[in-house]
């Protein structure tokens, strides 16, 4: 009998061994644990790793698209700290390390004028943790902070090309819009998956697939400048889609009943009007009037009476217990900052400080912990890292704003209106996040760290184009 000699057994390459052995070990380990049902996942990861090796930015887009779905990204309730973005990020890190070792990527892509401020902020956080009153809380907060630094590095490495940046805009817009659709459905049909307080005495609030209505409102508002940019720079169907999604997100913000969201959205809408109205041509005014009238109608119909009542609480702080509690955060935070103004009590330490205060007992809720966040990122940093941490963070934020400004100025200098408008749109989105930081403890919000990297990429692109044209 003839033997087919065309079949050959070839040896595994070092790269294949590097991928295969850890996955095999993971399969065997999971089989010995109560989570044996997760054992097939490492095997399924092999084709995903191959895909990431070819198009690594797909993993980054997946991570960013899951930001508005934070309520449903856990792989298991028993091991809640293991989430889809973390697993994807781990795979991406493995692929990138192998690509660096094989020479496919170079560290030059990580260059940024933001690294000094980033490293200074991290150093202050580490020093504060070493002398912290609550070291466990401080080091756990630094662990979470590393996620932002990793996202910053991933964006610099993977989104240098113009096509990738264009995909990024729509990944953000469409993922937030999808969660916005779910929030409206959940609110209207009272679905607990996408709305909260359905059976409680407090007001019903849309939350989409996020885990907090205020954070969800911040995400919705973040997209408004990007949608305005799409409206101005595109025609036809793209412009209609941008208009529809703009109205959808505004309506969703209202349904969250977020008072801070309403204030920030009002400020962002005013900024958008000041920025874009002078640029509109006469033929666009009719469309703008139509969109504005439709927006007024949609907003007027979608505003529930409970939203108006909730907004009135802002003007009556002595009668609204939630507003009074937020005022107490400012008082406790100021006293804690004066007690340790240089390095603070450690990152994330405000919760511990507030829990021991007289105000916490005064505003105590039955069945609720007294360990509450400050609802103000800057106050959290002042208490946790002192004036040094607040200064480093402010320098980082200002440097990012300046990067956007330089990208816009360089682009206008060579008459690239599209890139200039995009830089300004991201700058406005970044300003919305910085404004929300006055009302929300959101240091780990992914869109903040995303904007840091995008500011660098846009400035790099503007400089490269200017050099090429000289």
Give the tens place of pLDDT for each residue, 328-343.
999 999 999 999 999 9
Count: domains in the chain: 2
How confident is the model at residue 286, as a pLDDT? Answer: 66
Instruction: Give the separation between CA 256 and CA 214, rounded to whole angstroms.
Output: 7
How confident is the model at residue 203, as a pLDDT? Answer: 84
Q: Which domain holds residue 72?
A: 14-105
Same structural domain for residues 47 and 187?
no
Same structural domain for residues 27 and 74?
yes
Same structural domain for residues 93 and 213?
no
Q: From residue 40, how far is each of 88, 90, 139, 213, 395 by CA, in Å?
A: 16, 17, 33, 35, 46
Quick check: is 165 in a domain? yes
User: Under a CB-based contact definition with an 8 Å cutoff, are residues 268 and 225 in contact?
Assistant: yes
Quick check: is 347 in a domain? no
Q: Which DSSP letter does residue 445 get?
A: -
Same structural domain for residues 153 and 65?
no
Same structural domain for residues 221 and 92?
no
pLDDT band at residue 60 under the 50/70/90 scheme: very high
414 class by beta-carbon count within 10 Å (0-12 exposed, 13-18 middle, 19+ buried): middle
Same structural domain for residues 150 and 192?
yes
Range with the largest mean pLDDT of 94-98, 143-147, 274-278 = 143-147
pLDDT band at residue 31 under the 50/70/90 scheme: confident
205 class by beta-carbon count within 10 Å (0-12 exposed, 13-18 middle, 19+ buried): buried
Domain stops at, among 51, 72, 105 = 105
Same structural domain for residues 197 and 75?
no
Domain stops at, among 47, 70, 105 = 105
Q: Which of 246, 255, 265, 259 is nearest to 194 (CA)?
A: 255
Quick check: is 24 in a domain? yes
Quick check: is 352 in a domain? no
Same structural domain for residues 245 and 164?
yes
pLDDT band at residue 76 under the 50/70/90 scheme: low
Inform me whether the pLDDT recorded for 316 exceeds 80. Answer: no
Inform me whether the pLDDT recorded for 140 exceeds 80. Answer: yes
Q: Which tokens belong to 216?
A: 């969800």
Instruction: Give the separation between CA 152 and CA 459, rounded to whole angstroms.
Output: 15
How confident is the model at residue 105, as a pLDDT? Answer: 85
> For 288-300, what is the mean pLDDT?
66
Same structural domain for residues 154 and 261?
yes
Quick check: is 212 in a domain? yes
44 versus 263: the higher-pLDDT residue is 263
Inform me whether the pLDDT recorded for 47 exceeds 90. Answer: no
pLDDT band at residue 383 under the 50/70/90 scheme: very high
Same structural domain for residues 220 and 73?
no
Quick check: is 64 in a domain? yes
Same structural domain for residues 295 and 165?
yes
> For 217-244, what is the mean pLDDT?
92
82 versus 214: the higher-pLDDT residue is 214
How confident is the model at residue 160, as a pLDDT? Answer: 82
Quick check: is 330 in a domain? no
Same structural domain for residues 465 and 375?
yes
Inform me whether the pLDDT recorded for 387 exceeds 90. Answer: yes
Inform me whether the pLDDT recorded for 404 exceeds 60. Answer: yes
Is 160 in a helix, a strand, or coil?
Answer: coil
Inform me whether the pLDDT recorded for 15 exceeds 60. Answer: no
The whole-model pTM stands at 0.89
Q: Which tokens belong to 420?
A: 């200039």
Domain stops at, among 75, 105, 135 = 105
Quick check: is 416 in a domain? yes
pLDDT band at residue 368 under the 50/70/90 scheme: confident
């Amino acid at each position: 009998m003839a033997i087919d000699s065309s079949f050959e057994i070839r040896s595994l390459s070092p790269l294949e061994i590097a991928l295969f052995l850890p996955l095999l070990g993971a399969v065997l380990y999971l089989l010995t644990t109560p989570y044996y049902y997760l054992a097939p996942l490492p095997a399924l990861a092999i084709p995903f790793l191959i895909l990431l090796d070819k198009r690594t930015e797909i993993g980054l887009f997946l991570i960013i698209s899951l930001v508005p779905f934070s309520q449903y990204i856990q792989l298991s309730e028993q091991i809640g700290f293991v989430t889809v973005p973390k697993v994807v990020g781990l795979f991406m890190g493995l692929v990138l390390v192998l690509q660096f070792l094989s020479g496919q990527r170079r560290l030059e892509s990580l260059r940024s004028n933001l690294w000094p401020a980033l490293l200074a902020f991290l150093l202050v956080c580490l020093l504060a943790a070493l002398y912290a009153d609550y070291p466990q809380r401080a080091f756990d907060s630094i662990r979470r902070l590393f996620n932002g630094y990793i996202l910053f590095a991933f964006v610099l490495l993977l989104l240098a090309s113009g096509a990738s940046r264009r995909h990024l805009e729509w990944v953000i817009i469409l993922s937030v819009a999808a969660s916005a659709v779910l929030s409206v459905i959940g609110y209207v049909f009272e679905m607990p998956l996408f709305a909260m307080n359905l059976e409680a005495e407090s007001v019903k609030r849309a939350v989409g697939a996020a885990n907090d209505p205020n954070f969800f409102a911040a995400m919705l508002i973040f997209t408004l400048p990007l949608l305005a940019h799409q409206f101005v720079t595109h025609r036809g169907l793209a412009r209609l889609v941008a208009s529809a999604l703009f109205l959808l997100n505004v309506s969703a913000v209202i349904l969250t009943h977020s008072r801070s969201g309403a204030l920030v959205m009002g400020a962002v809408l005013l900024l958008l009007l000041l920025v874009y109205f002078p640029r509109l041509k006469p033929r666009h005014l009719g469309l703008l009037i139509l969109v504005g009238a439709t927006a007024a109608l949609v907003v007027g119909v979608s505003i529930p009476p409970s939203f108006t009542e909730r907004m009135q609480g802002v003007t009556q702080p002595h009668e609204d217990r939630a507003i009074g509690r937020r005022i107490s955060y400012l008082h406790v935070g100021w006293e804690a900052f004066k007690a340790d103004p240089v390095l603070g009590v450690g990152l994330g330490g405000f919760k511990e400080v507030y829990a021991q205060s007289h105000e916490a007992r005064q505003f105590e809720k039955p069945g609720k912990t007294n360990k509450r966040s400050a609802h103000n990122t800057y106050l959290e940093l002042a208490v946790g890292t002192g004036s040094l941490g607040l200064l480093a963070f402010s320098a980082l934020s200002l440097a990012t704003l300046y990067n956007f400004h330089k990208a816009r100025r360089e682009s206008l200098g060579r008459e690239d209106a599209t890139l200039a408008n995009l830089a300004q749109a991201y700058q406005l989105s970044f300003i919305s996040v910085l404004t929300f930081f006055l009302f929300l403890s959101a240091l780990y919000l992914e869109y903040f760290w995303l904007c840091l990297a995008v500011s660098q990429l846009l400035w790099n692109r503007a400089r490269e184009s200017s050099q090429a044209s000289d």
